[in-house]
Amino acid sequence: MRFGNKTATRRELIFYALCLIVTSFALTALLITVGAIVASGALKLNLDFLLGFPSRKAEQAGILPALLGSAYIIFLVAVVSVPIGVLSALFFEEYLRNGPIKKMLDINLKTLAGVPSIVYGLIGLQIFVRTFDLGRSILAGALTISLLILPVVVIASREAIRQVPGSFREASYALGATKFDTIWRIVIPFSLPGIITGSILALSRAIGEAAPLICLGALTYVAFIPDGLFSPFTTLPIQAFNWISRPQPEFHQNAAGAILILIILLLIVNSLGILIRLKLQKRLNLG
């Protein structure tokens, strides 16, 4: 076997085999998980389940309120966290000077990205639900989740902004562009694909979160479609979590169905992001 332009040494072979084994372990685990979910949940992929309301009878139970709840949350979180995240990242990279303040903010940001999600749930409960008096509403839930993924969005965006070659900026300045022009016409367009990738990853995390929302007081039984920003709501992970802990095996099937739909929702959001990114890259002729 050849690696690069040299014949592989024994050490390289062993390392290669190790990487291969570990990767295939991870992939097998993923395949088994998805396979098990599809096996028990595929039957549930019908319109009755998709458009139904929760019920104590497993065969009548559906996920419409949870599905729409999740979709609304994702949409609101994207609307709130991406602009704030990108602007903060721009501030960090383009305006903030190197120094103790930047260093301190930097450490804070990285720490925030690692804070357990339940802590954000508690913050959200205190700030959004109680202090701002938003109640246990979709808005409060979306703001909490936005807070949760904001550090991730900022870090990913900063990374993308740093990838824009310095020579581009210098060329822009050399042509007499102002700082604002440079950011607006050079930095943002060229870092956008990276920013979108990072934001999509963060949003994917947001879709799966249940703990902070439960802590916030997201509900489990909601038999109506959320009809506004202040409506009570539930989400797919919460619904799945509730079904899986019930005694009847039929509900476990429902849970698998809900998880399957969650995965499909995730894939839709991801492919939307990839599409947008491809489009942008083509325009920038980087693709």
Residues that bind another protein (CB under 8 A): 54-56, 72, 75, 79, 136, 214-215, 217-224, 227-232, 242, 244-249, 252, 276, 279-280
- Taking the complex as a whole, the smallest distance from the CB of residue 153 to another protein amounts, in Å, to 16
196 Cβ contact list (under 8 Å, min separation 6) = 273, 276, 277, 280
Radius of gyration of the chain (CA): 23
Task: Specify the residue, 183 or 215, whose C-beta has the smaller distance to another protein.
Answer: 215
H or E segment and range at residue 2: strand 2-3
Task: Specify the residue, 166 or 228, whose C-beta has the smaller distance to another protein.
Answer: 228
- Taking the complex as a whole, the smallest distance from the CB of residue 230 to another protein amounts, in Å, to 5
- Taking the complex as a whole, the smallest distance from the CB of residue 220 to another protein amounts, in Å, to 5
- Taking the complex as a whole, the smallest distance from the CB of residue 29 to another protein amounts, in Å, to 19
Task: Specify the residue, 28 or 248, whose C-beta has the smaller distance to another protein.
Answer: 248
Q: Which residue has the tokens 């570990």?
A: 22
Task: Specify the residue, 111 or 245, whose C-beta has the smaller distance to another protein.
Answer: 245
2, β-bridge pairs: 7
Task: Specify the residue, 67 or 109, whose C-beta has the smaller distance to another protein.
Answer: 67
Find the angle CA(115)-CA(120)-CA(125) to the nearest 5 degrees.
Answer: 160
Asked if residues 272 and 199 have their Cβ atoms less than 8 Å apart, the reply is no
Residue type, 220: T
Distance between CA atoms of residues 60 and 49, nearest Å = 8
Task: Specify the residue, 162 or 279, whose C-beta has the smaller distance to another protein.
Answer: 279
- Taking the complex as a whole, the smallest distance from the CB of residue 17 to another protein amounts, in Å, to 34
Residue type, 4: G
- Taking the complex as a whole, the smallest distance from the CB of residue 73 to another protein amounts, in Å, to 11
Encode 243-256: b = buried (16+ Cβ within 10 Å), e = exposed. beeeeeeebbbbbb
260 Cβ contact list (under 8 Å, min separation 6) = 37, 38, 41, 42, 44, 45
Q: Looking at residue 93, what DSSP letter applies?
A: I
